[in-house]
Structure 1
Amino acid sequence: MSAYSETFPWPSHYGHYNFFEARMKQHSKVASMKAHGGGLYDLTRTQGDTLRVFICECYAFGVAEYMEVVKNLGHIDVVIINSAWCGYAPDAKFHCREANVGLFKIGELMGALYRDDHWRHLTNDQKEYYKKQGWL
């Protein structure tokens, strides 16, 4: 369900992605960034790989929303939930991990960028929850 628009790609409420861009320009693992519009970016890391990133302001991102992203955009490496009032379902995070896709809030992405297997990055709370669910 979209926080601002019921049409894909759930555009930024503010009409820009300045916060994301500023964080990426400051990150020591980001070599360059290219915007394609609609919240789609190529993020090249200092290690040489390029991640295809989609920024979403979907109020409650779940597996169905992930499937819609892939249907509309094709391969994605990372989905960022770019709003303090939006989030994602734990099963969506696990589903994306199984597809080698990172699903993060912006702060989680900051840590994930240090990993080769960025999609496997979990917060301590997520690790505890997933262990209780038998997912880890």
Structure 2
Amino acid sequence: MPDGGYYAKVPRSESIEAVRRALYRHSAVSDYKEITPQLYEISRIGRSAVKLYVTNVYTVGMADVQEILEENPSVTCILTVSAWNSYTGRAKEYAKSINVGLFRFYEWLGALNYDGDKLLDYIAPSERDD
């Protein structure tokens, strides 16, 4: 791997820029503060604030969720940003059980419109069983 594994967890600059653009354009977002390129405080219109952690882990597992939250205990949402990234079902359920949302990029965009269980349980329209 030419980058020495650096991007295994830290998103590429173009992915971070995509997150910034999405936050700037999202109709539910009133403002956001970039604490680091991986950590954001997001104020939302008529909804609770979100503290977002952005990662580039290819498949986020339980250990990844635990590591992220150990280093950033106030995080309420975790986003694995690249389009081909995902997470395990066990990691998703674990995060939900401790009131943390775990999302792929397109899921996160929809989830930002909700609070509470609706945020945690958000399923993108393309993934829903009709």
Question: Which residue number in structure 2 is paired with residue 76 of structure 1?
Answer: 75
Q: May I ask how many residue pairs the two structures share in their alignment?
A: 124
Question: Which residue number in structure 2 is paired with residue 61 of structure 1?
Answer: 60
Q: CA RMSD in A?
A: 2.3
Q: Give the SS at the match of 1:17.
A: helix
| Residue-by-residue CA offset, 1:71-112 (whole Å, 9 max, x unaligned) | 111121000011123211111111111111111111101111
TM-score (norm 1): 0.80
Question: Which residue number in structure 2 is paired with residue 94 of structure 1?
Answer: 93
Contact 1:63 1:91 in 2 (8 A): yes
> 2: CA distance between counterparts of 1:93 and 1:24?
23
Question: Which residue number in structure 1 is paired with residue 45 of structure 2?
Answer: 46
Q: Could you say if the C-alpha distance between residues 103 and 58 of structure 1 is closer, same or farther in structure 2, counting changes exceeding 3 Å?
A: same
Q: Which amino acid aligns with 1:32?
A: D
List, as ranges, runs of 4+ consecutive aligned residues in structure 1 with deviation greater than 6 Å: none
Contact 2:79 2:103 in 1 (8 A): yes
TM-score (norm 2): 0.83
Q: Which amino acid aligns with 1:120?
A: D
Contact 2:42 2:50 in 1 (8 A): yes
% same residue? 22
Q: Which amino acid aligns with 2:100?
A: V
